[in-house]
Structure 1
Amino acid sequence: MDRINQPKVKPYLLTRSLSPENQETPIQFIDADMIPDKLFYRRNHFSYPAFSYSNYFLPINGSVSKPIVLSMQEILEFPSKTIQIVLECSGDKRSFFEPKLFGEQWEKGAISQGYWSGVPLRTLLERSGLSEGAKEVVVEGYDFGERTDLDKVFTFARSLPIEKALHPDTIIAYEYNGKPIPFKHGYPLRLIVPQWYAMASVKWIKQIRVIDSHFTGPFQAIDYVYYPHKETDQEAFPVTTVNVNSTIQKPLDMDILNTGMHEIKGIAWTGQGVISKVEISIDGGTTWLTAKLEPSKNNGYAWQSWSYEWTVSKKGEYVILSKATDSTGRPQPTDPFWNRKGYGYNAIDHVKVKVE
């Protein structure tokens, strides 16, 4: 077949499990700041929920002065905002922990980003009125299933402290990249929580409940908790803010290159401030070179693209390292913070290449 007529090869999601469906974004092949929904990573604890959109209503109740039930039409009539934001699974890169940990063996692709549009959660909470003493806002999804560790059926539910729930950019989203949210990503409504790992961004919202205590559901009190010790729960603390991190997208790990000029490129992101610096090392971390940060128009919630032009004349094997630092001064560590559920991996990234 004539090369010019061959179809363009497209990347696909990398499957980690089918039931429930968990698939990675092919992040090494992404060359854009907006991930199409078909390549957006998928993270599920249970099977996809079943409900009728034609009968969809959103209740807001609990410690509020006026419980309300909103129709989709009413929600769409509130002033909206659009935010470009990274969503990263807290288990992203879990497979790189040593010693190995149980759980979905994510590599580098449990992360995606795009434009989410919706109404600020605070707008809806102001409509219902927060009672004095309200502490947390519980967002419950329609997805549910049995947890074998507890021998009981649960819906997926998480809470936010009042301060985070009232953040102006915490939104109840109904669009992704200008279109209704795809069903597999939370249609018709999904909570979007900037700067926190994506377990907080509850999909398929069923109801919102304000409480005057601390939420103790299993996806908050058992899962999504950092446990620093293998055998005990001492010193445990909740998973919240995204760690500063970076990923090398090019060259690929174990690539064979020729001598000459090569572009090293990737992305960096953080849950505090913005990325202020990305450094590259070709000699195992002895010396560090400053990468170029690509012009960015984001509001601080999106990843930062970066690149470095590497001229190599000597044949041999090289380990390329990338290290990001954010504007609060947090650098990527040499070693990750080991925790027994494998959350928040953010050690300096590396790929190995051979130059012939």
Structure 2
Amino acid sequence: MEYYVGELSRPYLRTLSLMPENQETPIHFLKTWITPEKYFYRRNHFSYPMLSPHAFFLPITGEVKQTLIFPYCYLKSLSSKSVTMVLECSGNKRSRFSPRVYGEQWEDGAISQGVWKGVALRDLLNMSGLNSAAVEVVFEGYDYGKRTDMEGIFHYARSLPMEKAMHQDTIIAYELNGKSIPYAQGGPFRLIIPQWYAMASVKWLKQITVIDHNFDGPFQTVDYIYYPHKEDDIGKKPVTNIKTDSIIQQPLSYTTLDTGVHNINGIAWTGYGTITDVELSFDEGTTWKRAKLRKDTNQQYAWTFWEYQWNVEEEGEYTIMCRAKDSTGGVQPLEAEWNRKGYGYNAVYTIKVKVE
């Protein structure tokens, strides 16, 4: 990790690519509940879109009783709600899979947390009125470009089943951390989906279309699918909810420490449910010790900070493992569920340190 050395040292985003721009949050160095916008990770499939004044008008069409177009100012005048939540790329930690898989080689930083403010999607859908034939809701962004695996130009577009579209905390957001959503984070309108990986939270919303069938766009049926086998599609299933996961923020792996007491700390998060325990092991998983949790019980979608005071008296090399558990019974496994596109890595987090 590089630093700027001045009056206050500060971390920078870790760059994976610039065209399109993909950058990681310096997650090991942030201790705040809310990730400052300048440290929010960035995940793009295409170059940033050129937005016109039309981007400040959001239409809802398709299987609705009346097509409506919501101007930005009108949307902001409606009853709003704020949701504090983890936003995690489904490819976070992809570089940890073994065997290795192709794709952006994210380490631990394709994750951030913010306060998103907007209007409940179900309120807008109810204003338009849903036809009885409505099956899914499609969200199309202004970003578009070519894919390497098929001919043509594609907008980034995804759909939600009606149940998730009508979830009370699924919102059309227009603010992040108390300010208008930055262009780089998908403003002026961005879909925000709690509990699911961030591929569902479509940026730069262009239009919303209610359809009477299952959407088959490539970012729905080709990408963001768990393919458990390298050579065939048997057993494939869609990527949806965030898996129970955690990281050790400090110390970093392969750090040299002295004997004495050290504060081991990190974060844990999950999709459905809430984090109930974080445990650490110093003997390759034979025994586990509970960490102290620090969380906001009023924010069900937020991450949990944890810490453990480790008193180490003997010199040597140590492996430190941590795992999170949630209220639905979710627990980090010793090995991640391998899939050929590298989604949903959540194996027990492991670092090595040397004490001398």
Give the TM-score of the pair, scaled to structure 1: 0.97
**Given the superposition, is the C-alpha separation of residues 285 and 105 from structure 1 closer, same or farther in structure 2, using an over 3 Å criterion?**
same
The one-character-per-residue Cα deviations of 1:174-203 (angstroms, maximum 9, x if unpaired) are 000000001000110000000000000000
Partner of 1:318: 318
What displacement does 1:105 show?
0.2
Partner of 1:125: 125
Q: 2 CA distance for matches of 1:132 and 1:54? A: 30
Partner of 1:36: 36
Unaligned 5+ residue runs, structure 2?
Answer: none
Partner of 1:198: 198
The one-character-per-residue Cα deviations of 1:108-166 (angstroms, maximum 9, x if unpaired) are 00000010000000010001001002110000000000112112100000000000000
Q: 2 CA distance for matches of 1:161 and 1:298? A: 27
Q: 2 CA distance for matches of 1:236 and 1:28? A: 33
Aligned partner of residue 58 in structure 2, secondary structure: strand
What displacement does 1:6 show?
4.8
What displacement does 1:295 show?
3.9
Given that residues 82 and 117 in structure 2 are in contact (C-alpha distance below 8 angstroms), is that contact kept between their aligned partners in structure 1? yes
What displacement does 1:55 show?
6.2
Q: 2 CA distance for matches of 1:139 and 1:151? A: 22
The amino acid across from 1:19 in the alignment is M
**Given the superposition, is the C-alpha separation of residues 309 and 20 from structure 1 closer, same or farther in structure 2, using an over 3 Å criterion?**
same
Aligned partner of residue 76 in structure 1, secondary structure: helix
What displacement does 1:244 show?
0.2
Q: 2 CA distance for matches of 1:60 and 1:286? A: 55
Given that residues 293 and 306 in structure 1 are in contact (C-alpha distance below 8 angstroms), is that contact kept between their aligned partners in structure 2? yes
What is the RMSD of the two structures over their aligned residues, measured on CA atoms? 1.1
Q: 2 CA distance for matches of 1:52 and 1:246? A: 40
Q: 1 CA distance for matches of 2:266 and 2:353? A: 16
Aligned partner of residue 207 in structure 1, secondary structure: strand
What displacement does 1:296 show?
2.0
Given that residues 84 and 298 in structure 1 are in contact (C-alpha distance below 8 angstroms), is that contact kept between their aligned partners in structure 2? no
Partner of 2:48: 48
The amino acid across from 2:58 in the alignment is L
Aligned partner of residue 73 in structure 1, secondary structure: helix
Partner of 1:243: 243
Partner of 1:163: 163
Q: 2 CA distance for matches of 1:66 and 1:24? A: 41
Q: 2 CA distance for matches of 1:88 and 1:288? A: 27
The amino acid across from 2:101 in the alignment is L
Q: 2 CA distance for matches of 1:54 and 1:235? A: 42
Partner of 1:87: 87
Partner of 1:232: 232
Partner of 2:60: 60
Given that residues 42 and 185 in structure 1 are in contact (C-alpha distance below 8 angstroms), is that contact kept between their aligned partners in structure 2? yes
Q: 2 CA distance for matches of 1:54 and 1:151? A: 28
Q: 2 CA distance for matches of 1:137 and 1:228? A: 27
Give the TM-score of the pair, scaled to structure 2: 0.97
> Is 2:309 the counterpart of 1:309?
yes
Task: Using the aligned pairs only, state the percent identity.
Answer: 58
Aligned partner of residue 51 in structure 1, secondary structure: coil
The one-character-per-residue Cα deviations of 1:59-79 (angstroms, maximum 9, x if unpaired) are 100000111111111111110
**How many residues are matched?**
352
**Given the superposition, is the C-alpha separation of residues 231 and 6 from structure 1 closer, same or farther in structure 2, using an over 3 Å criterion?**
closer
The amino acid across from 1:109 in the alignment is G
Given that residues 279 and 288 in structure 1 are in contact (C-alpha distance below 8 angstroms), is that contact kept between their aligned partners in structure 2? yes
Q: 2 CA distance for matches of 1:84 and 1:69? A: 27
Aligned partner of residue 144 in structure 1, secondary structure: strand
